[in-house]
Amino acid sequence: DTAVSQTPKYLVTQMGNDKSIKCEQNLGHDTMYWYKQDSKKFLKIMFSYNNKELIINETVPNRFSPKSPDKAHLNLHINSLELGDSAVYFCASSQDPRAAYGYTFGSGTRLTVV
């Protein structure tokens, strides 16, 4: 039974398209995150939500819009995709907003923009 699940696992799309990535956790955690891992494996936080409320919004283009319909789901919608958006996007969850106990990660979504 997957704790943090993301769909799709792979996403190939053309520049200018709009796409969404979905994330769901069944751990009962209150806080969820989106991280971007670039081609050099560097992980950078994009957003975090605590119980449906936006907590962190790093310097991310406003083409990226997160949505949390409930505390178990955090989706990421991307408008007008660009080549530089190609990366692996990870969803994660934690027991508390301070991340004192670490995260549980999803398996990632590899986005390729052509």
Q: Which residues bind other proteins (CB under 8 A)?
A: 4, 33, 40-43, 45, 48, 55-56, 90, 97-108
Q: Rounded to the nearest whole angstrom, what is the least distance from the CB of residue 98 to other proteins in the complex?
A: 5
Q: Rounded to the nearest whole angstrom, what is the least distance from the CB of residue 80 to other proteins in the complex?
A: 27
Q: In this complex, which beta carbon is closest to other proteins, that of residue 36 or of residue 85?
A: 36
Closest residue by Cα to residue 81 from 23, 13, 9: 13
Q: What count of other Cβ atoms lies within 10 Å of the Cβ of residue 97? A: 15
DSSP state of 86: -
Q: In 3-state terms, what secondary structure has residue 20? A: strand
Q: In this complex, which beta carbon is closest to other proteins, that of residue 8 or of residue 16?
A: 8
Going by their DSSP bridges, the two strands 43-50 and 53-57 should be labelled as antiparallel
Q: Rounded to the nearest whole angstrom, what is the least distance from the CB of residue 43 to other proteins in the complex?
A: 4
